[in-house]
């Protein structure tokens, strides 16, 4: 019984000392309003007028590249490779799902 009372008294004393201590941590010196300052700046009204970009010309935009039989065949081969990989992955998933694990 004496050991329990002694342990409780030591625990209470250590918590009391910890509550009265000071913090030299840099995080305790932070000001909360510094976090909110950028948000306040974003909500201020815009006073500048928009400026036209002289170099932005929509007519100069290039269209898609022409499709040649060679590029069409390359795309078809790539699609076939992807489909074969997907089928192999599906077969592997089915095989893994059908494995009986005995305990």
Q: Which residues of the chain have pLDDT under 50?
A: none
Q: Can you give the pLDDT at residue 38?
A: 66
The string of pLDDT tens digits covering residues 21-36 is 666 666 655 656 555 5
Q: If DSSP states are collapsed to H, E and C, what string results for the chain?
A: CHHHHHHHHHHHHHHHHHHHCCCCCHHHHCCCHHHHHHHHHHCCCCCCCCCCCCCCCHHHCCCCCCCCHHHHHHHHHHHHHHHHHHHHHHHHHHHHHCCCCCC
pTM of the model: 0.36
| pLDDT at residue 54, rounded to an integer | 78
């Amino acid at each position: 019984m004496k050991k329990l009372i002694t342990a409780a008294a030591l625990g209470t004393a250590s918590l009391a000392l910890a509550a009265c201590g000071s913090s030299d941590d840099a995080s305790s010196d932070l000001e909360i309003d510094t976090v909110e300052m950028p948000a306040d700046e974003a909500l201020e009204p815009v006073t500048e007028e928009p400026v036209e970009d002289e170099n932005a010309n929509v007519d100069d935009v290039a269209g898609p590249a022409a499709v040649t039989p060679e590029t069409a065949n390359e795309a078809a081969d790539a699609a076939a490779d992807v489909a074969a990989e997907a089928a192999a992955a599906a077969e592997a998933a089915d095989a893994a799902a059908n494995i009986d694990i005995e305990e």
